Amino acid sequence: MNNSNFIIELSHISKSFGEKVVLDDVSLYVKKGEFVTILGPSGCGKTTLLRILAGFGTADEGEIKIGGADITNVPPHERPVNTVFQRYALFPHLNVYDNIAFGLKLKKVKEDEIETRVRKALKMVGMTDYEWRDVNSLSGGQQQRVAIARAIINRPQVLLLDEPLAALDLKMRKDMQMELKEMHKTLGITFVYVTHDQEEALTLSDTIVVMSEGKVQQIGTPIDIYNEPKNSFVADFIGESNILNGTMVKDKLVRFMGQEFECVDKGMGENAPVDVVIRPEDVYIMAKTDSGMFEGVVQSCIFKGVHYEMLVTTPNGYEIMIQDYNAFEVGQQVSMIIKPSDIHVMQKERICNTFEGSMIDSTHVEIMGKEFVCNEQVGIEGGEKVEVEVAFDKVELMDNKEDGTMVGDVRFILYKGDHYHLTIRTENGSNLYVDTHDVWDDRDIVGIKIQPEDIKIKRV
Amino acid sequence: MKRGSWSFPYFIFLLIFVVLPLALIFLYAFQDAEGNFTLKNFSKFISSPEAANTFVYSIGVAIITTVLCILLGYPAAYILSNSELCRSKVMVVLFILPMWINILVRTLATVALFDFLRLPLGEGALIFGMVYNFLPFMIYPIYNTLQKMDHSYIEAAQDLGASPMTVFTKVVAPLSMPGVMSGVMMVFMPTISTFAIAELLTMNNIKLFGTTIQENINNGMWNYGAALSLIMLVIIFATNLFSDSEEQTNNEGII
Amino acid sequence: MKKFFAQAYLWLLLAMLYAPILIIAIFSFTEAKVLGNWTGFSTKLYTSLFSGGVHHSLLSAIENTFIIAIVSAAIATVLGSIAAIGIFNLRNRQKMIMNTLNNIPMLNPDIITGISLFLLFVSLGITQGYATVILAHVTFCTPYVVLCVMPRLQQMNPNIYEAALDLGATPGQALRKVLMPEIKPGMISGFILAFTLSIDDFAVTIFTIGTEGLETLSTYIYADARKGGLTPELRPLSTIIFVTVLLLLITINVRAQRAQKAKEKELK
């Protein structure tokens, strides 16, 4: 990457706290004046990334440039960035004026200039005449405005915002979103905004960076991210969606829910396993007719303000979420149509669990740091490195963690219409993917067991 | 903020003025006057009936004082914390106020009171003086826990059909136990280790363990004095194990 | 009815707590050498307390007490505040060790602290006097300062320090302009606590004051009481101390309550 049109260049940033990898080779390039949102669930590493950008944390590996200058080892007070903190972090012993003037006073700016700039900043955030108020007597929204004024008065090249609206109530949040967007336009400063609220990200950003488990999942415009999610995580995290297992029969023809559908995707090869994403508002629902593409029975119907949200089961046992302006009665027979362009097909990242392991003896293999019993292997010696495959649906999960060969916790749950696809983080930090019909909750601790005959071993 | 090293000067200070002196008590306790290793100091304590008797007597006085302080202090703390019975915060201040007056002044005042009432100094005066001196230290921590106690527990118990008596025995009393425990620590410890108070309250007729230690140190019997101090330390340590040593948190906010 | 008994109980207990002090206060206004004899109202004891002369040693004991208290409270506040910031930033094991060490002087009975420091000074061959008393007082006061400052650090929004750095403050400036004002209330109450602990102390002082004739108020009273009689001037002195502490505590509490009420009102 050349340094001409990027104001922020984060290259190959990695960071661990002890054993835990928080950021895993993250790269991000931001154009001048862009409004970039880093979006992800809590614990995905987004705040850590922002703190590294601000200088409050250091990366174990990687390089950070702002405006072309390498600032990897520059302390926070010398960086051309300012931060708006999640819990505002206003100085409680200073009044509104002194809080906002803090940065300028440090730079020894002349008193009368400070005064004009503070007034301007206050006007900008709509807090004129609040100069002499005690910050502790302000409401959450007002404190946030002061925090923003305190940051932008220093005319930073980049403004970092760490979930700035998370502590506000819904109405206030909506108002502030609009104001932030307006402010971004007027100031022309690059905004880097961290949030876990996908709606906020879609509303505000020029570019969204979706993160999960310390990795960047997708970078794109809000429209791209919504319409063309790169993988099932992004599809599930952004908006509501039906995610189903499917097979790409050939170009422009995909098979899921036991039947074939026309689609617009191609180039995945024949009979390739894929994930199919259908947004609930993209399914057309009507009373049972012969012209429908598939049929079902309404299981539930809930009024959501603008639309109704319905769950429909198909005769072969799939559950589909549908949003429509018309309500259908529970138990009613209905028909559905999906346009080819609304069927989003994604290459599967994996079709089964694969591990590097090593044989202990002919009937025992070590994978994920644990010893598992396997069927007798002829011709593979103890100590030999092997490749091990375990199908998603061949992993047993148990409530009682003592019953399993090993223990893990549920990190991510994806509903696939007729079963759940879970990501389990095991004791040694590797991921295990499981298909199950049982209901588990996020962060459940489970015992893990695999039958010997389900452990498929291959020589490397 | 990477200022962990700022604790270093204090760490050195604590080593020199806390850890080293305590080590010296150990050292002296196991040495004779010439500096040779010996257990003589301890055998002297066990074999001398006077010192051993004083020791047992001191523990007795400390226990009686502590029990009396609980019996007198708990109801007071309960009333003070109950807004229906006592609304004035000034009352609380009045109760903790004596804590801030020099203990010797308070003791002399007790002597004066007994003189004034023409009562003889002695055991009675000793116990009265001890209770008088340390009662606020019992009331305050109990008051503090009762005060912080979530009132909805009591309402929940009432809601579930508990009588006022049951509410007290099953809810209030168990929940205030931490306060009682730190009160016990704050009364028992100083009572067992005081020396001047007993002297003044009994015209030097009754000796407590603290007095014995002080006399030995004053008379140059450092090794024996150190051994006796070590024995007291063991007692304190044992009492400490009983309670949760929560009293620091209750100490805060006296000001 | 219940309330009546409760109130009666409290007043009875208060009467017991205050009777001795009241007696001293009453008899500070009469001239009799022996307490209990009323020889008519007089303020002579008050005037002779401050006129020096025979009781010069009492006045110098008071002076010593205050000097020792101010110096050791000041040292303890500085040492304890720096230590609190340090301990706050330590991790796991080191933090635990420091907290345990910090607790020892508070859990130790005074007599043990006194004797252990006495043994330290004599084994190092240090002559006991002003310096040793102050060192001893710093030893038992500093842990309380640490305990007063620590909650301020814990309650502080950790982003505040970072916000200062973010706005261009060097670590030193951030410390002075943001961290210090935040922990100041803790430092002040730590100082007051250390000051009163020092003034009150008797057990540690007596073992570390040496034999050079240095007296604090506590050791003076003790020596005086041991001689059998009680210097009559101690009665007005005790009364003055008592009234001062009473006024001080009531003002502090009333002000604290008013401030709280004002804050509650503002929030509404």
Over residues C59-63, the mean pLDDT reads: 87
Beta-carbon separation of B100 and C245 below 8 A: yes
pLDDT given for residue B192 in this prediction: 86
**Complex-level ipTM beyond the 0.90 threshold:** no
Between residues C255 and A51, which one has the greater pLDDT?
A: A51
Q: What share of chain A is helix, strand, coil (3-state, %, to 5)?
A: 25, 40, 35
Cβ atoms of A345 and A276 within 8 Å: the answer is yes
Mutate to test the interface with A, among C92, C160, C162, C167 (most CBs of A within 10 A): C167
Q: How far from chain centre, in Å, is Cα B101?
A: 16
Considering only CB atoms, which chain C residues are within 8 Å of A85? 159, 162-163
* B-contacting residues in C 87-146 (Cβ below 8 Å): 87, 89-91, 94, 98, 101-113, 115-120, 122-123, 135-136, 138-139, 142, 144, 146
CATH 1.10.3210.10 fits A353-459, yes or no: no
Is pLDDT above 80 for C192? yes
Q: How many residues does chain B have?
A: 255
Q: Which of A36-40, A278-282, A391-395, C33-37 comes out lowest in average pLDDT?
A: C33-37
Task: Please report all neighbours of C, defined by 3+ CB atom pairs within 8 A.
Answer: A, B
Residue B165 has pLDDT above 90, yes or no: no
A241-347 under CATH 2.40.50.140, yes or no: yes
Strands annotated E in A383-452: 385-390, 395-398, 406-415, 420-426, 431-436, 445-450
Residue that wins the pLDDT comparison between C28 and A283 = A283
- pLDDT tens column, A101-115: 999 999 899 999 999
Give which of A197, A191, A136, A203 is closest to A168, Cα–Cα.
Answer: A197
Burial class of residue B116 (count of CB atoms within 10 Å of its CB; 0-12, 13-18, 19+): middle
Residue A333 clears pLDDT 60, i.e. is over it? yes
The answer to whether the CB of A309 falls within 8 A of the CB of A333 is: no
SS3 category, A247: strand
Which band of pLDDT confidence, cut at 50, 70 and 90, is reported for residue B242?
low
Q: Report residue C25's pLDDT band, with 50, 70 and 90 as the boundaries.
A: confident
> B18–C101: do the CB atoms touch at under 8 Å?
yes
The band of C266, judged by pLDDT with boundaries at 50, 70 and 90, is: low
Per-position DSSP letters for A42-98, written without gaps between them: TTSSHHHHHHHHHTSS--SEEEEEETTEE-TT--GGGSSEEEEBTTB---TTSBHHH
The confidence band for A150, taking pLDDT boundaries of 50, 70 and 90, is: very high
Which subunits count as partners of chain B given 3+ CB pairs below 8 Å?
C
Query: A295: part of which helix (H) or strand (E)?
Result: strand A294-303
Q: Which residue has the tokens 């004791």?
A: A427
Cβ distance A102 to C182 less than 8 Å, yes or no, reads no
Quick check: A76 and C165 CB within 8 A? yes
Q: In what order do the strands lie in the sheet with A431-436?
A: A395-398, A445-450, A406-415, A420-426, A431-436
Question: Closest approach of chain B CAs to the CA of C57, in angstroms?
Answer: 17
The model's confidence at residue C267, banded by pLDDT at 50, 70 and 90, is low
Burial of A33 (0-12, 13-18, 19+ CB in 10 A): middle
Instruction: Please list, in sequence order, all residues whose beta carbon lies within 8 angstroms of the beta carbon of residue C222, skipping any fewer than 6 positions away.
Output: B104, B196, C202, C206
CA closest to C94 among chain B residues: B4
Tell me whether residues B28 and C119 touch, CB distance under 8 A. Answer: yes
Instruction: Give CATH 3.40.50.300 domain extents, chain A.
Output: 6-232
Place of tokens 């407590």: B208
Indicate if the pLDDT at residue A445 is higher than 70.
yes
Decide if A92 and C182 are in contact by the 8 Å CB cutoff. yes
* Least Cα separation, residue B156 to chain C (angstroms): 23
- Specify the pLDDT at position A384: 85
Query: Of C157, C162, C267, which is closest to A56 when you measure between CB atoms?
Result: C162
- The pairing of strands A319-324 and A333-338 is unpaired
Mean pLDDT value of segment C112-120: 94
Q: State the Cα–Cα distance between residues C138 and C230, nearest whole angstrom.
A: 30
d(CA A337, CA A452): 44
The partner residue sitting opposite C36, judged by closest CB among B84, B106, B116, is: B116
Question: Is residue C227 predicted with pLDDT exceeding 90?
Answer: no
Whether C167 and A87 lie within 8 Å, measured CB to CB? no
Q: Give the model's pLDDT for residue B189.
A: 86
E-strand stretches of C10-114: none
| pLDDT score for A102 | 93
d(CA B222, CA B220): 5
Mean pLDDT of B193-213: 85
With bands split at pLDDT 50, 70 and 90, how would you rate the model's confidence at B2?
low
Query: Would you put residue B117 in left (φ > 0), alpha (ψ -120 to 50) or beta?
Result: alpha
Q: Are B27 and B235 in contact (CB under 8 A)?
A: no
For residue B52, give every residue at least 6 positions away whose Cβ sits within 8 Å of its Cβ, in sequence order, or none: B45, B46
CB contact residues (below 8 A), chain A span 68-107, against chain C? 75-78, 81-83, 85-87, 89-93, 102-103, 106-107
Q: Is the Cβ of B37 closer than 8 Å to some Cβ of chain C?
A: no
Write down the CATH superfamily of domain A6-232. P-loop containing nucleotide triphosphate hydrolases (3.40.50.300)
In a mutational test of the C interface, the residue from A47, A58, A77, A155 whose CB has the highest number of chain C CBs within 10 Å is A77
Strand, coil or helix: A120:
helix
- Answer yes or no: do B85 and C192 touch at CB < 8 A: no
Confidence of residue B250 (pLDDT cuts 50, 70, 90): very low
Contacts of C49 (CB under 8 A, 6+ apart): C55, C58, C59, C233, C236, C237
Identity of the residue in C166, C170, C182 whose CB atom sits nearest the CB atom of A93: C182
pLDDT tier at A247, thresholds 50, 70, 90: very high
What confidence score (pLDDT) does residue B99 get? Answer: 74
| Rounded Cα gap, residues A381 and A373, in angstroms | 15
CA distance C71 to C73: 6
Pair A445, A380: CB distance under 8 Å: no
The pLDDT-based confidence of B93 (bands split at 50, 70, 90) is: confident
Average pLDDT over residues C144-160: 90
Average pLDDT over residues A216-245: 90
Is residue A213 pLDDT above 90, yes or no?
A: no
**Mean pLDDT estimate for chain C:** 86
- What CA–CA distances, in Å, run from B207 to A409, B49, B193, C85? 65, 13, 12, 45
At residue B164, what is the residue type?
P
Chain centroid to Cα A178, Å, comes to: 23
Range of A249-253, A372-376, C132-136 with top mean pLDDT: C132-136
Pick the more confident residue, B56 or A460: B56
| Cβ-defined contact of A106 to C167 (cutoff 8 Å) | yes
Average pLDDT value for residue range B9-32: 93
The ranges of chain A annotated as CATH 2.40.50.140 are 241-347, 353-459
In the prediction, which pLDDT does A1 show? Answer: 45
A77 closest CB neighbour out of C165, C178, C266 = C165
pLDDT at B253: 41
Residue among A266, A292, A399 nearest A345 (CA):
A266
Looking up tokens 């290793």 gives: B37
The answer, yes or no, to whether residue C228 has pLDDT greater than 70, is: no
Number of A–C residue contacts, CB under 8 Å = 68
CB contact under 8 A, A106 and C181: no
Q: How far apart are CA C98 and CA B11, in angstroms?
A: 7
Average pLDDT for residues B9-19, to the nearest whole number?
95
Q: Report the neighbours of A using a cutoff of 3 or more CB pairs below 8 angstroms.
A: C
Predicted confidence (pLDDT) at residue C251 exceeds the cutoff of 90: no
3-state class percentages of chain C: helix first, strand second, coil last, to nearest 5: 80, 0, 20
A147: pLDDT strictly greater than 90: yes
Strands (E), chain C: none
